[in-house]
């Protein structure tokens, strides 16, 4: 079976390689290269916390092989370990051999302690004494003082000691935990930096240089950084949970100290201390990554937005607006006449925020219903919903508490909305609410009219500047009826049947997609042109993969634009010769989900919140809406064709599961993201 499918974890590792490749690309601005390095490290953190943690659990309990390829967990782990070791080595090679030297040449320097001037040493000693020491707790341990708890992904130091403490007891080891309240990178003042330069020092260097002062009376013979990554999966029993908020709060606290799955240690750490740490955390050499540099590279992201170094960053741009929204006309009046399709981040997300703000302020609006999966701190959308609820409007918000790594923020958000008088409904345990929908009910000329926004991405005002997504604003009566039914499904748990403009998981989307794939298959068998294009984040649902294999054998031309996971194996003779898979990795995170079916010339276009994964089809509440207007269909077709023509930021999946980056060679360069920037957005004029 493994010859037919690609393992999910291994495919995700390949995606992280493509992200790191952006950091290795000399054509990318220097600070943006550093940012991609940080993103690759953040991705790896989550990969260990969730994917590797789950894999290790299955290995420990001897669970049967998972996934359509049915590869044993130990076999997958062993292959992953090789790839992960290579990736981590490449990360630090990139940082030490390329980025640090090139940044230094550009006037952004990260100083090693050996390079501190006397003046800098004095300033850093004062900084250590006044800003660091008051919040540090140096520790020694023995049978009566056990090894302290280590917080997930926290910065720590294992210290070798000699001598006796104040109580006459001999000490061999100590530890220093760096509180999360301390910045990991400190910028030196201009007065002790080279003229015109930005100079930074790592907190780890400051602690290491001054660690002896934390253990007076003892000799320090070495100080070595380490970081432990823990299992961060949350486990909520669908049957037993009676209070989801309390259950999640308990799980969130427990996950901070879950089972260790990885340890990163400074490469100079001696073997005996490394073995001591491995023994304590019940880890092996296979879980150990000896690193030549700071153990928490993702903290370098704080340096990536130096405002006075625009030449080291991507050129800024002004987000555009579709022609329909360029007037000062009321948004509801505009939607009474036409629908609006937005393409983020090239076009602004502000119309969506303004739509909800207008609904909150409009006395003719009676009700607002919205799903929230991720919103971000200080969300203006949440502010508008609070305003609407306080003004007496019926506000219903479906909040998915189990949005991974946003659980605590969403609990706080739910409390805020409830205090304002909104009706808050939590996503159903076991069936995450991942749909992106807003429904506004407004009195218009004596009638109640539904206005709505549907999207492929989250209502997160920050990520809309870096994630590519489609947003759709409409007052279509039939579409409004469908959205109303979907909200009833989410609040009253009744099935949304009889929809004419939408498909939804977990009830209708999978069957509809299977039917449409089979229709293309039959058309090909009948000698008719047949084609499928899907642009999603991931594909691993085995029945959909098998249906695509069958379509390929029948002659259907299939193009898949997949950013991340792909378990389908393309280009296999007699199976998937007509399937082509590519991944676009560039300045923006490709996040939009689009399904296209030729349908014997009567083309169908759908935008969706759902990827082609088992969880999206059967274990989530997802929305999928049809695009029917010719101009919008033409726009999306053009966008898909542009992605398929990209030869600058496109990677092609090979049959062995690896990816090859395309190069334009002698052909004209085509970068889909650059074209969208040129045609949908405007260059930003930066004044000197």
State residue 402's pLDDT score.
65
Distance CA 45, CA 16 (A): 11
Enclosing H/E stretch for 659 = strand 659-661
Is 453 known to be catalytic? no
Q: Is the pLDDT of residue 240 over 50?
A: no
Contacts of 180 (CB under 8 A, 6+ apart): 151, 154
Q: Is the pLDDT of residue 72 over 70?
A: yes
Alpha helices (runs of H) in 394-476, residue ranges in sequence order? 407-420
- Identify the architecture of domain 317-500 in CATH: 2-Layer Sandwich (3.30)
**What Å distances lie between residue 600 and 329, 514, 596, 603, CA to CA?**
40, 17, 12, 7
pLDDT band at 233 (very low <50, low <70, confident <90, very high): confident
Choose, from 343, 434, 460, 591, the residue flagged as catalytic.
434
State residue 2's pLDDT score.
61
Distance CA 662, CA 660 (A): 6
* pLDDT per position as a tens digit, 540-585: 999 999 999 999 999 999 999 999 999 999 999 999 999 999 999 9
Distance CA 516, CA 578 (A): 17
The percentage of residues in the chain with a pLDDT greater than 70, rounded to a whole number, is: 94
Distance CA 644, CA 654 (A): 16
pLDDT band at 664 (very low <50, low <70, confident <90, very high): very high
Can you tell me which residue has the tokens 């299955």? Answer: 58
Are the CB atoms for 682 and 317 separated by under 8 Å?
yes
* pLDDT per position as a tens digit, 142-179: 767 788 889 999 999 999 999 888 777 787 889 999 98
Same CATH fold assignment for domains 8-312 and 317-500: no
Q: Is the pLDDT of residue 274 over 80?
A: yes
Average pLDDT over residues 324-336: 93
**Crossing angle between the packed helical segments 73-93 and 30-46, to the nearest 10 degrees:** 160
For every residue of 542-553, DSSP letters joined together read: HHHHHHHHHHHH
Distance CA 228, CA 265 (A): 9
Single out the residue of 335, 561, 355 nearest to residue 444, CA to CA: 335
User: CATH homologous superfamily of domain 505-683?
Assistant: Endonuclease Chain A (3.30.870.10)
Contacts of 654 (CB under 8 A, 6+ apart): 570, 571, 660
Distance CA 674, CA 586 (A): 10
State residue 232's pLDDT score.
84
CA angle 46, 51, 56 (to 5 degrees): 125
The dihedral through the CA atoms of 568, 573, 578, 582 has a sign that is positive
Q: Is the pLDDT of residue 381 over 50?
A: yes
* Token couple for 547: 């249906």
Q: Is the pLDDT of residue 242 over 60?
A: no
Report phi then psi at 316, rounded to 5. -70, 160
Single out the residue of 440, 460, 458, 456 nearest to residue 448, CA to CA: 440
Average pLDDT over residues 345-364: 97
pTM over 0.85: yes
Q: Is the pLDDT of residue 686 over 90?
A: no
Q: For 66-73, which contacts have Cβ atoms below 8 Å and span 24 or more sequence positions?
A: 67/5, 67/7, 67/8, 67/540, 67/567, 68/1, 68/4, 68/5, 68/540, 68/542, 68/545, 68/567, 69/1, 69/2, 69/4, 69/5, 69/6, 69/7, 69/567, 70/1, 70/2, 71/2, 71/7
Domain ranges of the chain: 8-312, 317-500, 505-683
**What Å distances lie between residue 302 and 39, 272, 317, CA to CA?**
12, 34, 21
Q: Is the pLDDT of residue 377 over 90?
A: no
* pLDDT per position as a tens digit, 96-108: 999 999 999 999 9
Single out the residue of 336, 542, 356 nearest to residue 438, CA to CA: 356
Distance CA 267, CA 93 (A): 13
User: CATH homologous superfamily of domain 8-312?
Assistant: Polyphosphate kinase middle domain (3.30.1840.10)
Pairing of strands 502-505, 620-627: antiparallel
Higher model confidence: residue 677 or residue 149?
A: 677
What's the maximum distance between 2 C-alpha atoms anywhere in the chain? 90
């Amino acid at each position: 079976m493994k010859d037919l499918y690609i393992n999910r974890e291994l495919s995700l590792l390949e995606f992280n390689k493509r992200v790191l490749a952006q950091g290795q690309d000399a054509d990318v601005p220097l600070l943006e290269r550093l940012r991609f390095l940080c993103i690759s490290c953040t991705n790896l953190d989550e990969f260990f916390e969730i994917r590797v943690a789950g894999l290790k659990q299955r290995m420990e309990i001897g669970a049967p092989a998972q996934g359509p390829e049915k590869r044993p967990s130990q076999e997958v782990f062993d292959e992953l370990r090789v790839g992960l070791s290579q990736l981590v080595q490449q990360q630090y090679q990139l940082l030490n051999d390329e980025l640090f030297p090139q940044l230094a040449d550009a006037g952004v320097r990260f100083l090693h302690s050996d390079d501190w001037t006397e003046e800098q040493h004095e300033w850093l000693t004062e900084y250590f004494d006044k800003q660091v020491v008051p919040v540090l707790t140096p520790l020694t341990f023995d049978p009566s003082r056990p090894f302290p708890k280590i917080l997930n992904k926290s910065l720590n130091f294992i210290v070798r000691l000699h001598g006796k403490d104040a109580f006459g007891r001999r000490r061999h080891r100590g530890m220093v935990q760096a509180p999360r309240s301390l910045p990991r990178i400190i910028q030196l003042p201009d007065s002790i930096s080279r003229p015109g330069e930005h100079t930074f020092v790592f907190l780890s260097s400051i602690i290491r240089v001054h660690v002896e002062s934390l253990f007076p009376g003892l000799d320090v013979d070495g100080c070595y950084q380490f970081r432990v990554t823990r299992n961060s999966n949350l486990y909520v029993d669908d049957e037993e949970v009676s209070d989801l908020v309390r259950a999640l709060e308990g799980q969130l606290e427990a996950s901070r100290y879950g089972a260790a799955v990885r340890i990163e240690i400074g490469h100079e750490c001696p073997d005996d201390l490394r073995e001591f740490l491995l023994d304590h955390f019940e880890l092996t050499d296979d879980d150990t990554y000896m690193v030549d540099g700071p153990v928490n590279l993702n903290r370098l992201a704080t340096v990536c937005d130096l405002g006075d170094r625009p030449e080291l960053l991507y050129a800024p741009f002004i987000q555009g607006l579709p022609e329909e929204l360029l007037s000062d006309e009321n948004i509801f009046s505009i939607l009474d006449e036409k629908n609006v399709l937005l393409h983020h981040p090239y076009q602004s997300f502000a119309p969506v925020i303004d739509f909800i703000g207008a609904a909150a302020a409009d006395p003719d609006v009676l009700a607002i219903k919205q799903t929230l999966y991720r919103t971000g701190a200080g969300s203006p959308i949440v502010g508008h919903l609070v305003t609407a609820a306080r003004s007496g409007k019926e506000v219903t918000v479906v909040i998915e508490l189990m949005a991974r790594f946003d659980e605590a923020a969403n609990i706080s958000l739910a409390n805020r909305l409830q205090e304002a008088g909104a009706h808050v409904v939590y996503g159903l345990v076991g069936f995450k609410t991942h749909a992106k929908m807003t429904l506004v009910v407004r009195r218009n000329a004596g009638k109640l009219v539904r206005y709505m926004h549907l999207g492929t991405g989250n209502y997160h005002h920050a990520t809309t500047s870096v994630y590519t997504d489609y947003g759709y604003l409409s007052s279509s009566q039939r579409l409004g009826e469908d959205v109303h039914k979907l909200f009833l499904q989410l609040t009253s748990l009744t099935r949304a049947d009889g929809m004419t403009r939408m498909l939804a998981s977990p009830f209708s989307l999978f069957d509809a997609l299977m039917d449409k794939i089979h229709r293309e298959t039959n058309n090909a068998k009948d000698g008719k042109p047949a084609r499928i294009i899907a642009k999603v984040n991931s594909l691993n649902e085995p029945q959909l993969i098998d249906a695509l294999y069958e379509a390929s054998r029948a002659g259907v031309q299939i193009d898949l634009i997949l950013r991340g996971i792909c378990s389908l194996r393309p280009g296999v003779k007699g199976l998937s010769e007509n399937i082509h898979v590519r991944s676009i990795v560039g300045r923006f995170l490709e996040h939009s989900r689009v399904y296209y079916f030729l349908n014997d010339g009567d083309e169908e276009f759908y935008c969706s919140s759902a990827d082609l994964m088992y969880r999206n089809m059967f274990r989530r509440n997802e929305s999928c809406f049809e695009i029917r207007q010719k101009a919008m269909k033409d726009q999306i077709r053009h966008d898909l064709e542009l992605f398929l023509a990209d030869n600058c930021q496109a990677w092609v999946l090979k049959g062995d599961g690896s990816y090859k980056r395309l190069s334009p060679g002698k052909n004209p360069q085509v970068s889909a993201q650059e074209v969208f920037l040129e045609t949908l957005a405007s260059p930003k004029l930066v004044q000197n």
